[in-house]
A and B are shown apart, each in its own frame.
Chain A
Amino acid sequence: TQLLEQSPQFLSIQEGENLTVYCNSSSVFSSLQWYRQEPGEGPVLLVTVVTGGEVKKLKRLTFQFGDARKDSSLHITAAQPGDTGLYLCAGAYDYKLSFGAGTTVTVRA
């Protein structure tokens, strides 16, 4: 079983602040993906990281894949209320995805 641990479980910040979500595992993945899910909807793919040490930027979001391809982080700069949602990391292996439990992010206006 490939387990992904996300931290923190909940995060509540003021608009304009920065935040970081972590995703850790003892297993190696062929890729790691980040999704955002809003209530009552399916997760939406934000980014896929494949190479160890890879850093990807998507506007105010920065994603990093650990050198050993076991962990990842998501950093949001100057968070906005529209960033509110459940952030999920998922590791790919053998054509399967293993999901972390998720981090609920609330950005207060």
Chain B
Amino acid sequence: NAGVTQTPKFRILKIGQSMTLQCAQDMNHNYMYWYRQDPGMGLKLIYYSVGAGITDKGEVPNGYNVSRSTTEDFPLRLELAAPSQTSVYFCASSYPRQGEHSNQPQHFGDGTRLSIL
């Protein structure tokens, strides 16, 4: 049981290049999330998905796109890389809430460290 798997672990991009960060989970979780974490800062939600075919913006979606064609996969796409997108990117997944106020913990992949030069 691998949990949440992210690839690649490290990447250096040039300004203006594009790339896709891959995320896959094998826990049959409906919900998946993408966060970025800048040095010394908290996690900021980029996009999230509550199921295949459904995605929604988080706090900092500009410059990113996502798709969710299967329950297992939730790739994050950077179309025109900018230095401000240098960060560590974490993918997470969870079960749905069990009730209006019964949130479920999120489980994280080990991250993709992205530098844009």
Are A and B bound to each other?
no
Query: Which residues of B are in contact with A by a Cβ distance under 8 Å?
Result: none
